Structure 1
């Protein structure tokens, strides 16, 4: 299995808040990409690299980043990656938030650039889970699903509060936890489910070629319809 960490966002809201902070406590974080923010003594994204390496569930980790103005982000990620032997950096060649490719296109870029023909674990670069989360458990669950059907993919969910449904993609599932649909930021009245879906997906190698089909169908659509991997998940369910 391969891991693709999506880290090409521009963190515009974060940077706005950092710059606006009058205390000066966070001035050193100006221009720092969210995945490289210090959390618990190391960069946020380093926690994933350590966990993925320890779990033995992936054999290579690809990180898709943006170039940003003067390649500031790209250089920072390359310096960070130099400390790991199993991490490779890929730039999406964009330099502004308005010109971003979108997460699904970044995933497709990694698949094509690195000739990935394996199952792919996709992780949001600004995402972290609690300490009781088990990558081995995810890998075992995915292996069980694959034994029954090679086209099976795996997504995760956790219970959110009613007022939080408008912040996340919400999964609706049947009694066997098979996903029936995914609603993007619905009102609490629009779904009975409170299963929030984080940016953590295991796509089977059977589903990866469908990235091309999805992006071809959405080529004229606004970026919002193809930005989050959840858009691909919603499209994939019916297929």
Structure 2
């Protein structure tokens, strides 16, 4: 007889990057329920070697960037992406992937994986808090099977305008947008191994769980 467990599929290993931002335990539990083996850590070697890296984030852009720099997060993210290794950013963890953030007139440099500026939303009601639909581009793997669902948002800042320019040799990111009031903002991005959402999948019920499963399926 074969040994017990032989032939069973290995659960992908995910690191949730612990840099002092947000309710990290909810992200850990959500990713575990979606089918991954999860470690919450700031250890750079573990973050580099995991099958997937999840970068959470809540609060102020500048504070999140300071926390990331303290654990050399931008370096870890950059090295993973250079090797085609998956990264998922959530909420401010998405925002810091852009070039810069502007809060109360203060500009803070981001990880600069994408051009673009995170700034305060101009909608009549801010913060944008609660459930909202998303406008999903054709070919999205992130939203496979859940393009018509709603997701949970809580934020006052976002990327309001993002004009993509490509050289024709690389595939342009797939950009999902959401309307709040009279304003449209970037609510998710798929760019090869780099995925990100402005909303919280871990707070978005069955739809959020399905999105996390879609991401984990790319780690196998």
Scaled by the length of structure 2, the TM-score of the pair is: 0.31
The structure with the larger Rg is 1
The structure in which a higher percent of residues are helix is: 1
Scaled by the length of structure 1, the TM-score of the pair is: 0.29
The structure in which a higher percent of residues are strand is: 2
